[in-house]
Structure 1
Amino acid sequence: MGTTTPQRRQRHDPVERRKQLIGIGLQMLTERPLHEITVDAVAAQAGISRTLLFHYFPTKQDFYAEVVRAAGRRMLRAAFPAGRDSPSELDDVTDGYLSFIERRHELYTGLFRGTAPGDWLHDIAQETRTQMVDQLLLTLGIQRPAPMVRAAIGAWLSFAEELCLDWAAHRPGNRDRVLALLRGSLRNVVELADGDSN
């Protein structure tokens, strides 16, 4: 009669373990506010000790920051399906951005709005906004934007955010109308901002 060899506990590669822990944090973030996520709950779900979690993230804030950055990357992937440093179609961008906020408007509000300069959440929100502006310039085929054009696209993002959040919460109009407004306003803003350089 054969004998079975006991299975050894699988050890995770550090990079994979970090990804696993961030993934658990992201999943929890869809269910509760950031401040209600505890490192103890994350560690327990991962099957590790709290002490081991702090081997991968020096502090609780470091862990939270990586989870929020991952949430920002998810939004960027939703808005720019062609991937980083590749141009996406403007129709896909506006539809993806609106869809993300439609599904996650409470999460988006909690993470990216109402923060003050100097706050770590504010800094991550600004990082994400800068990446969105860069990707929008790529989508629009603008290789060397004038400072006014970059500033105008950043201001358009504030408008788009407000419009999408209001629509997601209150549904004041037709979805296609919102998308048309997003696309048309972006084109108009860029054209007007670029007027001095023509």
Structure 2
Amino acid sequence: MLNSVDADHTAQSGPPAARTRTRLSQDERRRQLLGIGLRMLVEKPIQDLSLDAVAAEAGISRGLLFHYFPTKTDYYDAVVGAALRRVLRNISPDPDVAADLALRQFVERFYAQVDRRREFYLALVFGSDAISIGGEGVESHRMTVAHRVVDAVGLEPATTPVVHGWTAYVEDRALLWSGTAAAERVPLADEVAHCCRALTALLAA
């Protein structure tokens, strides 16, 4: 009977008596769908994520997915936002450390993030211009990173535009470094020192 079917459930195959249903709250379902998207984003650019595949893995219909994210772009943007927040957590320096150490930690962790998940980072940042990747979303992320560096290093707020440009420079160098064969790479310590000196020079200009 139609009125006996839940709007949001996962049904397992088998005779009626053996079927089980799992109901999730709206927040739980959204987190589940975002988690699936993040996992898929490791392997492919955001625009290649199949909403049918996401819904199937979650055990819901494609139509029900749109109950939680009204459009495909809404879902893609939510996945990208979650991924960028994860990156930000991974690259942030420890709280309450000296300014020079905070700066080194940021650069080291940025390089480590890009090196460990290079394809993921490329898919995240350069996946598509149609949504917030490579555009407003990434620029907002870079600005958030810049503010985090300014606060951690104890710089004046007026330096934020300079730090913002520097974070893009660090990103470019990290991508080039991670794309180089390990045996041919400049030592990470040298890269970190170079990036730190570059910021000092920019701030002194």
TM beyond 0.5: yes
Structure 2 residue 182 is the aligned partner of structure 1 residue 168: no
Root-mean-square deviation (Å): 2.3
**Cα gap change, 1:184 to 1:115, in 2 (>3 Å):** farther
Matched residues in 2 for 1:50 and 1:65: separation? 17
One of 14, 23, 27 as aligned partner of 2:26: 14
Q: Is the 8 A contact 2:114 2:174 kept in 1?
A: yes
Unaligned runs of 5+ in 2: 1-16
Residue in 2 aligned with 1:156? 166
Superposition misfits of 4+ residues, deviation over 3 angstroms = 5-8, 113-116
Matched residues in 2 for 1:159 and 1:43: separation? 38
Q: CA deviation at 1:176?
A: 1.5
Q: CA deviation at 1:165?
A: 0.3
Q: CA deviation at 1:71?
A: 1.1
Q: Residue by residue, what CA displacement relative to the aligned partner does 1:76-117 show, whole Å, maximum 9, x if unpaired?
A: 0011154xxx5662232222111111122222223324866x
**TM-score, normalized by length of structure 2?**
0.79
Residue identity (%) = 35
Equivalence map 1:21-170=2 (5 Å)? 21-80=33-92, 82=94, 89-113=102-126, 120-121=132-133, 122-142=135-155, 144-146=156-158, 149-170=159-180
**TM-score, normalized by length of structure 1?**
0.82
**Cα gap change, 1:109 to 1:9, in 2 (>3 Å):** same
Residue in 2 aligned with 1:196? none
**Cα gap change, 1:87 to 1:129, in 2 (>3 Å):** farther
Unaligned runs of 5+ in 1: 194-198
Q: Is the 8 A contact 2:41 2:123 kept in 1?
A: no
**Cα gap change, 1:73 to 1:87, in 2 (>3 Å):** farther
Q: Is the 8 A contact 2:43 2:119 kept in 1?
A: no
